[in-house]
Structure 1
Amino acid sequence: MGFAEKRGNYWRGRYKVAPGKHLTVADDQGRTIRFATKGEAQRAASEAENKYRRGDWRDPALGQETFGEYASRWYEAQDLAASTMQNYKRHIEEHLLPDFEDKALVGILRTDVELWEKKERALYAASSVKTWRSTLHLILEDAIDEGLLTSNPATRRRGRGKRAGRSRDRGPEKVITDALGILLTAERASLLSGRDDEFVAVVHKGYTGVRWAELVGMETEFARPGSFRVEWQLYELDTGELVRVPPKDDSYRTLDSPDWLSALVASHIARTKPTPCPCHGKTYVYRGLGAARTGGHQGAKLTDVARCAGVSTGTVSNVLNHPARVAEATRAKVEQAIADLGFVRGTVSEHAPHWRRNGFATWLFTPAVSGWYPKKAPQEARPVPLLGEPWPGVPSRGRNATDRADACWVPVAKGLTPHGLRHTHRTMMEDLGTEKVLMDERMGHIDGSVSARYAHVTPGMRRRLMAGLTEQWEAALDARLAMCPTSPVRVLNDLLRTRRDARELVLPG
């Protein structure tokens, strides 16, 4: 039974937790509670002893562990996917520890969390801050389960500031495009890269809605006639390593493919003849851009060859990759420079095994959709310099590229990102009246509602969607054909010619 003990001008409560061992009633910070009367102290001590016997008791001293100490212990106990562990590590180290590392767990107040969030929102996007607060909430919730806290200061109170909250959390409108926008973006990305791979990949992504990592991780064995199987993804860690992991949220799925898209990808595979990559030993549909220089190559670089031959790096690249495009005299000059300098290409493969998310978005996708290269120190944002012929313009490269240019691209969909093509695909399906159950299956989403349990995908739904996507694709080709009947991108030029011939066959006379 708890008892009261006189201490000078106040009373304290004492209770038994083991033979010969007594503790003092304390607050959440571990400080002794000073009672004004003996009765108050005795009642508090008896209540504390009863909690201890019921198993509800916790040592107040445990709450003095700092957030930094607990977060480190919490992180080490997690056993999650490498991508998730990386994200948690970044959230904790870059956004939570600077403000909460030295604070005792029990000393973190709701006002502290609100002030932290206000400061972060002044620097970062609202959606990002919301994610970091969710991580903080998760960590503190686990601290409650361990008996270190009694409440979670990162919990949002329902109904409080509701309207303002919705407005505050609202992010910028997501930029999307349409079927013609996908086609034009794919053409420009291919012109920027100097090969057909990017054209096929952008069209593939726009008409299937796959995630970026799923596209990069698409293995040739899963590109089948009439479908694509999403079985793996290649997730890029901060270290630059690409790890082969299951798709996000285990969203394994088979995506129906229109005949024309399956044929486009199959022709791409037959043309590029992909081989197993050195990092995973798997054969992927798409390869990276640029020569793979691994093993610490220290010899002459492509820029050295260009300088020695007095040509642009783009010309040297064409001699290496597309010699037929270069005049014979120029080609001979470049080949002599290569021999003189002892230039050696990438020793692993002609191209890097895989795209890098940042490189693809910065130097291919963003310039394709906006017509501008983004700001990248030390250079400011600048329009893509173009040689006006052939239409729609070929990027001017090398020394004095801007001075030699005579045109630039107008935006297709400024602000569109590679992930925006996923939103675009969903919107295209909505426009076609596709049933929600099929859209969720295709996007890899799970609808946990009771209604969704009774909805099932039928062959008729699949046929209607494939017919609708084919109609959108053909309309985009017709619109592109009306702009110009040819394209510098070989694969698109073939598609335009085939489409033109097909239309001429059905026209009267």
Structure 2
Amino acid sequence: MRTSDTHGCPTRGKYGTVADKDGNTIRFRTKREAERAADAEEGKARSGSWKDPWAGQVTFGAYASRWYAEQDLAASTMQNYRRHLEEHLLPEFEDRTIASIQRADVEAWDKKERTLYAASSVKTWRGTLHLLFEDAVDEGLRDDNPATKRRGRGKRAGRSRDRGPEKVIADPLGVLLSAERASLLSGRDVEFVSVVTKGYTGMRWGELVGLETEFLRPAALRVEWQLCELDSGFFERCPPKDDSYRTVDAPPWLTRLWSGHIARTQPTSCRCHGKTYVFRGQGVSRTGETGAKLVDVARRAGVSTGTVSNVLNRPDAVAEATRGRVREAIEALGFSRGGGAVDQAAHWRRNGLATWLFTPAASGWYPKKAPQEARPVPVLADPWPGVPARGRGATGRADACWVPVAKGLTPHGLRHTHKTRTEGFRTPTKLMDERLGHMDGSVQARYTHITREMRHDLLANLTAEWEASLDARLAMSDTSPVGVLDALLRERSRARP
């Protein structure tokens, strides 16, 4: 057989020794077998299908670093790939060569990970591993992809346990009550307006956080950007997912809710992007803070928050009797300036809002956070639906706790809720896809078009559900501690026959 260079590559008309897929030289029993193998390899080289057996000797760690550097994807996707590699794939495969990793190795890793993490998470990490090996195959570093799941293999029983829980949705009253409770927990009207907006538009989380005031329209909103929260704490302003730019029609009552919100909050541009956003987040002292707040002191003392502020900053401006009531409330609640100060951050943190505002609002429970276990949200009975009791001895002072509105409901579940409700209206699929930012490349979709009547019917149905939810809420109580909802209830009560 002809000679070769040190790597076994064919150069200047010469070919290397016949090697297996791991780069090891194959020893043949007879000269005839060796000649046949050499002729086969020579044929591969001439046809362009010959692969360098030594190429697969690059380590997984070295290839993964190069592979990651070559990706040009959205910042959130790059962040996820980095997590998958650094936290789950490199610890197992970093020092192994690309060619030496076999299907059994991947299956053993998969099985081990499933004993520690949710099956859905392991499936995601394996998907990244599969993608990396697919590129390695394309580059000729190996012949097959060991991360490929073979169909119809393995046990059938118990597969249903690997499925994630079904997404929880809410009815229109559930959306309204979740919005009201989230606002009570935050002490602001902002959460009420934002939760209702998400429930009646189906916007993605990043699109809601990234909604700029300039994209509010008289009868709609325009989705042009989203804010993606990175591990560094920075929010990247980027196009919506899959370039799903769109105009979302809104009924008159919802646009009035937005305009009233803008008039009350007077939003200003943020320092990080120089843009003015419709919704602002909460400061660090408020996110996850269950201590007494300024509004709690005011309620207990029977005064306004402005009076409490005066007692703290200009006590001589307040009557002695009032000062005494406020100080008594401060002492009883264990209020401190740092824990109770109202602060606004430029943007919501996804985990902060979901964990400490939305989840307790929907489920009626605060989540587990060391050293505290999960616990019901303690509330005062008056005014209805119960103002959260906070501060020292909150549980002892509480009259009751919230019952679940929709246990397991998440902010993204409101997107599922909106889709489900519009399905119930028999809304044409084309209009639903436009509203949610979904793409349908089928021939049927090309021949279907959205009419003015379709839009009108959808908005009429959304309005009917909103009014029905207000009526149901009025039947429970005709007032609310949430200012914006209280005004809506009074308006609805006057409008009813």
Do Structure 1 and Structure 2 share a fold, with TM-score over 0.5? Answer: yes
Does residue 81 (structure 1) correspond to residue 74 (structure 2)? The answer is yes
What secondary structure is seen at the aligned counterpart in 2 of 1:229?
strand
**How far apart, in 2, do the equivalents of 1:57 and 1:279 lie?**
53
Question: Could you tell me whether the CA contact under 8 Å between 1:437 and 1:452 is conserved in 2?
Answer: yes
TM-fit CA distance, 1:209:
0.6
Does residue 47 (structure 1) correspond to residue 15 (structure 2)? The answer is no
Question: Could you tell me whether the CA contact under 8 Å between 1:318 and 1:325 is conserved in 2?
Answer: no
- 2:255 is aligned with what amino acid? S
Question: Could you tell me whether the CA contact under 8 Å between 1:3 and 1:46 is conserved in 2?
Answer: no
Does residue 335 (structure 1) correspond to residue 335 (structure 2)? The answer is no
Match of 2:128 among 119, 125, 135: 135
TM-fit CA distance, 1:223:
1.2
For the structure 1 residues 149 and 327, does the alpha-carbon distance in structure 2 shift closer, same or farther, using more than 3 Å as the test?
closer
For the structure 1 residues 41 and 129, does the alpha-carbon distance in structure 2 shift closer, same or farther, using more than 3 Å as the test?
same
Aligned counterpart, 1:308: none
Match of 1:100 among 90, 93, 96: 93
Say which is worse superposed, 482-491 or 154-163, in terms of deviation. 154-163
Question: Could you tell me whether the CA contact under 8 Å between 1:251 and 1:445 is conserved in 2?
Answer: yes
1:346-425 to 2 correspondence within 5 Å? 351-425=344-418
TM-fit CA distance, 1:104:
1.3
**How far apart, in 1, do the equivalents of 2:452 and 2:145 lie?**
49
**How far apart, in 2, do the equivalents of 1:162 and 1:227 lie?**
51
Question: CA offsets, 1:322-365, max 9 Å, x none?
Answer: 9962495x5544225999xxx9999xx95111111111011100
Question: Could you tell me whether the CA contact under 8 Å between 1:386 and 1:395 is conserved in 2?
Answer: yes
Match of 2:304 among 309, 314, 325: 325
TM-fit CA distance, 1:371:
0.8
TM-fit CA distance, 1:451:
2.3
Percent identical across equivalent pairs?
Answer: 66
Match of 1:109 among 98, 102, 115: 102
Match of 2:178 among 174, 177, 185: 185
- 1:427 is aligned with what amino acid? T
Aligned counterpart, 2:294: 315
Say which is worse superposed, 439-448 or 269-278, in terms of deviation. 439-448
**How far apart, in 2, do the equivalents of 1:386 and 1:317 lie?**
11
Aligned counterpart, 1:475: 468
What secondary structure is seen at the aligned counterpart in 1 of 2:10?
strand
Match of 1:222 among 209, 215, 218: 215
Question: Could you tell me whether the CA contact under 8 Å between 2:8 and 2:52 is conserved in 1?
Answer: no
TM-fit CA distance, 1:200:
0.3
Say which is worse superposed, 223-232 or 456-465, in terms of deviation. 456-465
**How far apart, in 2, do the equivalents of 1:231 and 1:166 lie?**
40
Question: Could you tell me whether the CA contact under 8 Å between 1:387 and 1:394 is conserved in 2?
Answer: yes
Aligned counterpart, 2:195: 202
**How far apart, in 1, do the equivalents of 2:354 and 2:57 lie?**
46
Aligned counterpart, 1:232: 225
1:251-266 to 2 correspondence within 5 Å? 251-266=244-259
Question: Could you tell me whether the CA contact under 8 Å between 1:209 and 1:442 is conserved in 2?
Answer: yes
Does residue 59 (structure 1) correspond to residue 59 (structure 2)? The answer is no
**How far apart, in 2, do the equivalents of 1:407 and 1:153 lie?**
56
Does residue 498 (structure 1) correspond to residue 491 (structure 2)? The answer is yes
TM-fit CA distance, 1:287:
0.6
Question: Could you tell me whether the CA contact under 8 Å between 1:323 and 1:331 is conserved in 2?
Answer: no
- 1:484 is aligned with what amino acid? S
Question: Could you tell me whether the CA contact under 8 Å between 1:15 and 1:45 is conserved in 2?
Answer: no
Does residue 176 (structure 1) correspond to residue 154 (structure 2)? The answer is no
For the structure 1 residues 316 and 427, does the alpha-carbon distance in structure 2 shift closer, same or farther, using more than 3 Å as the test?
closer
Question: CA offsets, 1:8-65, max 9 Å, x none?
Answer: xxxxxx9982348541000000011111111111011011122122222221111011
Question: CA offsets, 1:49-91, max 9 Å, x none?
Answer: 2212222222111101111111111001112221111011011
Question: Could you tell me whether the CA contact under 8 Å between 2:2 and 2:16 is conserved in 1?
Answer: no
Gaps of 5+ in 1: 5-13, 294-302, 304-311, 505-509
Question: Could you tell me whether the CA contact under 8 Å between 1:179 and 1:473 is conserved in 2?
Answer: yes
What secondary structure is seen at the aligned counterpart in 2 of 1:411?
coil
**How far apart, in 2, do the equivalents of 1:67 and 1:338 lie?**
71
**How far apart, in 2, do the equivalents of 1:16 and 1:148 lie?**
14
- 1:442 is aligned with what amino acid? R
Question: Could you tell me whether the CA contact under 8 Å between 2:2 and 2:14 is conserved in 1?
Answer: no
Aligned counterpart, 2:63: 70
Aligned counterpart, 2:321: none
What secondary structure is seen at the aligned counterpart in 2 of 1:24?
coil
**How far apart, in 1, do the equivalents of 2:28 and 2:316 lie?**
89
For the structure 1 residues 255 and 161, does the alpha-carbon distance in structure 2 shift closer, same or farther, using more than 3 Å as the test?
farther
Aligned counterpart, 2:141: 148
**How far apart, in 1, do the equivalents of 2:383 and 2:64 lie?**
59
TM-fit CA distance, 1:386:
0.9
Gaps of 5+ in 2: 318-335
Question: CA offsets, 1:140-159, max 9 Å, x none?
Answer: 01111111111111112234
1:437-456 to 2 correspondence within 5 Å? 437-456=430-449
Question: CA offsets, 1:348-395, max 9 Å, x none?
Answer: x95111111111011100110111110011211111111110000101
For the structure 1 residues 316 and 464, does the alpha-carbon distance in structure 2 shift closer, same or farther, using more than 3 Å as the test?
closer
What secondary structure is seen at the aligned counterpart in 1 of 2:401?
coil
Question: Could you tell me whether the CA contact under 8 Å between 1:15 and 1:49 is conserved in 2?
Answer: no
**How far apart, in 2, do the equivalents of 1:494 and 1:431 lie?**
29
For the structure 1 residues 323 and 448, does the alpha-carbon distance in structure 2 shift closer, same or farther, using more than 3 Å as the test?
farther
TM-fit CA distance, 1:453:
2.3
What secondary structure is seen at the aligned counterpart in 2 of 1:17?
coil
- 1:184 is aligned with what amino acid? L
Number of positions where the alignment pairs a residue of Structure 1 with one of Structure 2 = 469
Question: CA offsets, 1:459-509, max 9 Å, x none?
Answer: 2221111111111111111111111111111111111111111113xxxxx
TM-fit CA distance, 1:97:
1.1
Report the TM-score when normalising by structure 2: 0.88
For the structure 1 residues 318 and 344, does the alpha-carbon distance in structure 2 shift closer, same or farther, using more than 3 Å as the test?
closer
